[in-house]
Structure 1
Amino acid sequence: MSKVKEKFRDRALPIRTRVNDLLSRMTLEEKVAQLRQDLYGWKCYQRDGDEVALTPYLTDYLAKTPGIGCLYGVFRADPWSQVTDETGIPSALSRDTAFRIQKQVMAANRFGIPALFVEEAPHGHQALGSVSYPINIGKGNSYDPALMEQMATQIRHEMAAKGVHIALVSTMDLARDPRWGRTEECLSEDGVIAAKYTEAIVKGFQGDLIYAGEDFLDQPVATHTTAQMGVVLKHVIGQGDTLGGHNSGSSIIGRRELLDIYGPLLHAARNAVGVMAAYNDIDGVPCHGNPWLLTDLLRKQNGFQGLIMADGSALDRLATNYTQPGLAARQALTAGVEESLWDELYPHLVEYVTAGLVPEALVDQAAFKILAIKFLLGVFDDPFKTPAAFDETHAQSVNLELAEESITMVKNTGILPLKTAAKIAVIGPSADNRYDLLGDYTAPQTAGQHSTIYQAIKAQYPASDVRYAKGCAIRDHEHQPQLLNEAVALAQASDVVILTLGGSSTRNFGMRFGKNGAVSSKGINMDSGENVDLASLALGGEQPALLEALAKTGKPMITIMVEGRPHELEQVLAKSAAVLLAWYPGQRGGDALAALISGQVAPSGHLNISYPRSAGQLPVYHNQRRNPAPDYYDEAKSPLLTLGTGLSYGETPVVERIQLDQTTVSKVTLQDGAKLQAMALVHNPNDTAATAVLLVATNGLTNNVVPRASHVVDFKRVTLAAHEQRQVTFTLEATAFQQTDFNYQPRLFEGPVTVSVNGQSAVFTIQ
């Protein structure tokens, strides 16, 4: 029998027992407080030099509210928060600031319940002095889940050292419509590819914190885990599939399509500490009020154990669909949304319960989950635990490697690698701009924090005369002729041109933002990121004119696309000797590009999306259903570049043949867990090592629904020594050979099934 008077303080007891005991002692007001994430964390302090003081914004709130569920963005620094290098919290002061705030929170409620500190980390912690990695659409080109896991581990170490408990990380959106401004946050257009990355990211952040098939509530708080952080995955689900590519719009996804395309992603989220619901509706049902999605599919079918968080002010949007706000609150809680974010709905739950609009049992259910996560992460028992030290040097090494693997070469006439050149012109709107390399959700950067492309090229070629000209702005049409003329003159006086084109997610401090942080006043040269959608994928401003003018000089041109989404590329390919898709490659992006261009490193990125010719032919994602329709009258229906495209120096390693370990498999054995092995023999014909990305696809018929044109089921990145032949084995389960049927159930293929790897295929039969 425990000697501890209150069970919830007994570390030897299972989490379930401790939470139930604590919950039984709490008032309705105290429970509702755990469901609230009202505060903007950066308003909780005021900094004067090295002195940080807590503000009345925090203390007045705690005087009126008996606790805090989660506290968002204490360390956020960006134009929305208006936090700068001078006013924000530097890394050296972060942990002390977090602990001081936590002490205030704990002192303000009867049970000393701490808050969970929640921070944005879509490509690194959005805070002063933090490491900023390549954006998702870029690092998804790496096909390297192991390196993605290392990145997540480094972000975890950095954030934990500051006192953060939960990282908000984008992994659940798919790049199905590149007009959408948040395409940069997507890991792929394909749910299976994004799912493998998601599992790696969860593992990197959380280690062994949650096991599939084992209920963490039935265990005591783990003392052995190396992870002191949880990850909340954004967003569930379908935001990249909205009509017209409009942010937060409607997604007309059939239930069958959702299960097939997004099912692997939902399964990949099963071990995450949390997920964030998406703004969009699916076929008219808002995700924040969808019990089939959040409870039946995510929790019951996929075994998700974590908490479900609302997106910023999304519950207020939900309320606009109801005659009474209390009805919206009841629907959100019924769906499974436990933690709010800056809304006016959950703060009124006490009155909704009192009025009979919301059953108190729904509040109890949500508060239980939030408290359980506080126990799971060790925050309740040891809120001031000293984390492992953060090694920024190692993190930046991982960052550089990931940037190198993220960049994809799609054309090379032989100009690359560029070993030497007497005079090099570096031209373009992003060539000497640090922020254009980083993407949305970026903190202010210091001058010495990382190199621009121009600076990195200059350092890479110390014996060359390397000069820079802007050429034009991203989108501004005014006052551009002089910039263009200067660029042409520089090109004419040079031996080779390195040109940057594309877009930018750079925000500035003069912009206006909504309550949820989305930009509401567009910057003229900012054409990507949250709430910045495009109708056309054509290059903006005078960039086409710059490309044309430089091409007319006759100087060989290496073009780097710096972008958060695909832009029209046909003219770029036609007029360039080489083309690199750099995306927004992060703080080490300039260094990575310089290493690739010089040949110090060979390109190894491969497209994680189907690259369109124009917006008019969308969608072009590879896994559409078979369609015999001809090309458009005025354009091909196929993408310009297919999923998996990527060049390197030398010949691409080839799959010479594929063999299967079985020729016939019964449905029964597959359904009972039998697996099929596919062995691909890969050959590197080069005199140097080379990297290949192997994509496995299956094709078959269900005698039920229309099959897909392409069905990727697995992938591997392999590096082969010079002239090496290697057999690479893939183990495929039943999920690789099925689609969702008439009745929304998984249905196995019947008869002949084709398994292909990079163009080579083999056939077996399911009977």
Structure 2
Amino acid sequence: MCFALTGKAQNIYQDPEQPIEKRVEDLLGKMSLEEKVGQLSTLLGWEMYDNSGESIEPSAAFRDAVRNRHIGSLWATLRADPWTQKTLQNGLNPKTAAEATNALQEFVIRESRWGIPLLLAEEAPHGHMAIGATVFPTSIGQASTWNPDLIQRMASSIAEEVRLQGGHIGYGPVLDLAREPRWSRVEETYGEDPYLNSQMGVAMVRGFQGENLNSGVNVASTLKHFAAYGVPEGGHNGSGLSVGLRELHSSYFPPFKAAIQAGAKSIMTSYNSIDGIPSTANPYLFREILRDEWGFEGFVVSDLGSISGLRGSHKVAATGEEAAKLALLAGVDADLGGNGFDRNLVNAVNEGMVDEKLLNEAVSNVLRLKFEMGLFENPYVDPEKAREGVRNDKHVQLAREVAKESIVLLKNENNLLPLSKDLKKIALIGPNADNIYNQLGDYTAPQEESNIVTVLKGIQNKVGTENVTYIKGTAIRETSQDEIEKAVALAENSDVAVVVLGGSSARDFSIEHEDTGAAKVSQTEGLISDMESGEGFDRLSLDLMGNQLALLKAVQATGTPTVLVLIKGRPLLLNWPEENVPAILDAWYPGQEGGNTIADVLFGDYNPAGRLPVSVPRSVGQLPVYYNYKAPVKHDYVEGSAEPLYAFGHGLSYSTFKYQNLSINVMGGIDGPRISIEFEVTNEGEMDGEEIVQLYINDLVSSTVTPIQQLVRFKRKAIPAGETQAFKFELGKNDLQLLDMEMNWVVEPGEFEIMIGASSRDIRLKEKFTVK
């Protein structure tokens, strides 16, 4: 029996007073080969309970998995969406979710030989993907806040909601650099820059994990996806790429390294291959870099089905046993999906293909987290606490705060915004103006409509129902049911037209899914869903789809002042709107409070300060387009500029800010440089506001080619109207170093240039300094 149930330790592993490593060693020594392999299996959790409406019981599939496969973990037990076929009617609410996880734990502790509790992993990138949880902006919106402290608070709230319902691991953050906007998963990332990604990733890890994983309100963080997953060839999800080691270490590794150093307990492999080696079979990534170089002590989990994919997709293994061997040799500890290791790994060990010592290491890495989280002593949760604590008022207000700070004002010609609340005839038009799922993004559970504030509801809350008239106008992709003529008539008789366009990652029950859970693009005829983004929905172009641009052009042609609001998951081509529409807001997928926050910005109750974490191209022909490309400076194309339409870091305010009084003090040489940078920013506008100052650096002469500019610091700070705030940054060795020709990190003597401004293109202060 488990110590948690008997109150008396019979074995060392059951005694909480013993050191964790001693407990792991004791338990490992008692386990059979099959039990060890079972601990590495993470099965699909939503299949593991039966909900009759009156009681929740372990399913037959779960009972079989425990008794015959000795499983150690479940994934997405509480997930609800079209793939899992869990709805508001047959899914779980926070209270019944806690009851379900308790029932599963009780069964596994009672029925397994050693009473080992389950690890329950849950999807949690912008809120727990479970019915009744708080829905925050997706990661690309989180990054647009440029506010790691706020994101850490958000992550703490998400962790609390997961843990109160019985979960232990939160999948996130996604630390892939998004340098390919055609890729379907841009919305899940923090954008194109390694430093911004690093800061956001560290914030998420600290928020998830807190100071004590045994707190009852914290979860372990699983970093996704190692490595270089966000730049697939042609934007095709999971495709391979060829990238040099220097670029891996300089651009793609730093966010993961920073999160590992912040204490992240888990990391996930990626579906792609790098230079012909699948991530899930790459010992360089997980043994040499992750463990030997960075000192990682957590566990590595495969992405769903990626161990089997070594045989089926990548074709680097002829049998399941060979695939299991490759993954274990590479340093993969846990098998998400449960079909990659299982009997294949048992057979591989029995046949001498795999040293059982490697298996023991993997099992130890998984068991260690169970002990760290106190699951042997406290495997259960309180359903009443889950009912009270999930989506509470504090978390809803935090969702609104994150959404407000994420909104980016792209354009505001002649100060059209903010709008007056005295307007009596407001035309609200567009497919994303009143669609709850289109504003939430992928990895979102079914929602009660009353929990989500659309743009229509938000504006009505602000100025009254009688002053707002709504017409959809068109769909995101469908072109056979347009109401453009009605929209034009409405705009002609209104004081202002707010047009809400963009994209959607909303899955519906007509969408088919891959075995990995990615949505499957269908070319069959029939009514087309709005979904044009989200995992599996890669794009050929980046145009507004369907008749959206035609709708916008028709409304703008009426002469009524027009505001474009964008709700979407990836950068889209906005050349015509930039040339013709006077005001443009980008809200990404703003979450459940999106409508309120968009209204706050439109009507001046909040002064926007969000900044783009990713460049917005002028053409697909430019791709890739990102700000910190390596020298030489790009020249223009025959057809137009090589510059992005909107640069990384761009975002306007209702205030204007003046940068001044830059001073730089250099101390130390190449072995220990310290560069102190001070300057001031004055709010010269009439409105209180926030400014996000950005500090970039350029190594003017270097032994290997380096970026033309690289973000090294940023700070979001409130500055009241008419007041001045001082900013101070200090740079060190890590900010100036490069990988030399021998692949050593070094600071080279010579000149550097500091660039400080409001975006990567809007540089206000410049000065050079020398490191000797």
**Range class of TM-score, shorter chain:** over 0.9
CA deviations on 1:177-232 (whole Å, 9 max, x unpaired) are: 100010000112101101101111111111124xxxxxxxxxxxx76x56542111
Give the Å deviation of 1:63.
Answer: 2.3
Identify the range of structure 1 (335-344 vs 20-29) with the bigger mean alpha-carbon deviation: 335-344
Matched, 1:259 2:249: yes
Is residue 282 from structure 1 mapped to residue 282 from structure 2 by the alignment?
A: no
Task: Tell me whether 682-691 or 240-249 shows the greater mean CA deviation.
Answer: 682-691
Q: Is the 8 A contact 2:58 2:107 kept in 1?
A: no
Q: Decide which of 440, 443, 456 is 1:441's aligned counterpart.
A: 443
Q: Alpha-carbon deviation of 1:238?
A: 1.1
Partners of 1:466 and 1:345 in 2: CA distance? 55
User: Where do residues 55-454 of structure 1 align in structure 2 (5 Å cutoff)?
Assistant: 55-66=59-70, 68-209=71-212, 225=215, 227-270=217-260, 271-319=263-311, 320-347=315-342, 348-384=344-380, 386=382, 390=389, 392-413=392-413, 414-419=415-420, 420-454=422-456
Deviation at 1:31, TM superposition (A): 0.4
The residue that corresponds to 2:4 in the other structure is none
**Amino acid paired to 1:613:** R
Which amino acid letter does the alignment assign opposite residue 87 of structure 1?
Answer: N
Contact 1:146 1:200 in 2 (8 A): yes
CA distance in 1, matches of 2:295, 2:543: 43
Distance in structure 2 (CA, Å) of the matches to 1:81 and 1:248: 22
Check the 8 A contact 1:702/1:738 in 2, yes or no. no
- SS state at 1:333 partner: helix
Question: Distance in 1 between the 2:255 and 2:548 partners?
Answer: 37
State the 1:301 CA deviation: 1.9
**Paired residue for 1:618, among 620, 623, 626?**
623
Aligned counterparts, 1:695-710, within 5 A: 695-701=694-700, 703-710=702-709
What secondary structure, in the 3-state scheme, does the structure 1 residue paired with 2:662 have? strand
Q: Which residue of 2 aligns with 1:574?
A: 579
The Cα of 1:680 is off from its aligned counterpart by 2.2
Deviation at 1:478, TM superposition (A): 2.1
Unmatched segments (≥5 aa) in structure 2: 1-7, 523-527, 758-762
- Higher mean alpha-carbon deviation, 529-538 vs 701-710, is at 701-710
The DSSP-based 3-state class of the residue aligned with 1:763 is strand
Asked whether the equivalents of residues 56 and 103 of structure 2 are also in contact (C-alpha less than 8 Å), the reply is no
Once the two structures are superposed, residues 304-348 of structure 1 have per-residue CA deviations (whole angstroms, 9 ceiling, x without a partner) of: 221111111111111231233323222211221101111532012
2:291 partner letter: R
1:657 aligns with 2:661: yes
- Could you tell me which amino acid in structure 1 is paired with residue 266 of structure 2? G
Residue 516 (1) aligns with residue 508 (2): no
Q: Give the distance between the partners of 2:175 and 2:568, measured in 1 at CA.
A: 20
1:740 is matched with which residue? Answer: 739
CA displacement at 1:520 relative to structure 2: 1.7
Matches of 2:184 and 2:766 in 1, distance apart?
37
Look up the match of 1:507: 507
- Deviation per CA, 1:496-540: give whole Å up to 9, x if none: 100011111111012211222111244542100101000100110
Letter in 2 for 1:187: Y
Determine whether 1:678 maps to 2:680: no
Matched AA of 1:258? L
Check whether the contact 2:300–2:331 (CA below 8 A) recurs between aligned residues: yes
Could you say what secondary structure the match of 1:37 adopts?
A: strand
Q: What amino acid does structure 1 have at the position aligned with 2:531? A: M
1:327–1:358 CA contact under 8 A, matched in 2: no
Report deviation, 1:240: 0.9
| Preserved CA contact (<8 Å) 1:474 1:525 | yes
Distance 2:122 2:259 in 1: 19
Secondary structure of 2:718's counterpart equals strand
**In the aligned structure 1, how far is the partner of 2:678 from the partner of 2:216?**
36
For residues 229 and 605 of structure 2, what CA distance do their matches in structure 1 show? 39
Instruction: Report the alpha carbon displacement of residue 4 of structure 1 after superposing the two structures with TM.
Output: 5.2
2:678 touches 2:729 (CA, 8 Å); kept in 1?
yes
Mapped contact 2:694–2:713 kept (Cα < 8 A): yes
* Correspondence 1:17 to 2:22: yes
* 1:502 maps to amino acid: G
Equivalent residue number for residue 496 of structure 1: 496
CA deviation map 1:239-274 (0-9, x unaligned): 111111110011222110011112321212211111
| Aligned-residue RMSD, C-alpha | 1.7
Q: What number of residue pairs does the alignment pair up?
A: 742
Give the letter for the 2:180 counterpart: D
Query: Residues 531-550 of structure 1: matches in 2 within 5 Å?
Result: 531-550=536-555
Deviation at 1:544, TM superposition (A): 1.4
Offset, 1:430: 0.8
Q: Conserved in 1, the CA contact under 8 Å of 2:615 and 2:644?
A: yes
* 1:371-409 CA-partner distances (Å, limit 9, x unpaired): 001111111222125579626100011100100010100
Contact 1:69 1:339 in 2 (8 A): no
Q: What is the SS of the residue equivalent to 1:88?
A: coil
| Secondary structure of the corresponding residue to residue 250 of structure 1 | coil
Larger deviation: 296-305 or 229-238? 296-305
Q: Aligned letter for 1:233? A: L
Q: Deviations over 1:585-629 (max 9, x none)?
A: 000000100111111111111111111112110111111101244
Check the 8 A contact 2:287/2:331 in 1, yes or no.
Answer: yes
Residue 152 of structure 1 and its aligned partner are, at CA, apart by 0.4
User: Residues 5, 56 of structure 1: CA spacing in aligned structure 2 closer, same or farther, 3 A cutoff?
Assistant: closer
Q: Which amino acid aligns with 1:405?
A: E
Q: Which residue of 2 is the match for residue 37 of structure 1? A: 42
The AA in structure 2 aligned to 1:157 is E
Identify the range of structure 1 (464-473 vs 324-333) with the bigger mean alpha-carbon deviation: 324-333
Decide whether the 8 Å contact of 1:700 with 1:749 is kept in 2: no
8 Å contact from structure 2 (residues 664, 675) kept in 1: yes
Distance 1:690 1:226 in 2: 38
2:51 to 47, 52, 56: 47
Q: Which runs of 4+ in 1 moved over 3 A?
A: 225-228, 385-389, 521-524
Q: Describe the SS at the equivalent of 2:729.
A: strand
The residue matched to 1:660 in structure 2 has which SS?
A: strand
User: Which residue is 1:215 aligned to?
Assistant: none
**Residues 684-699 of structure 1: matches in 2 within 5 Å?**
684-699=683-698
Are 1:207 and 1:226, in contact at CA under 8 Å, matched by a contact in 2? no
Shift of 1:302: 2.0
AA aligned to 2:84 is: S
Residue among 14, 17, 33 paired with 1:28: 33
The residue aligned with 2:563 is 558
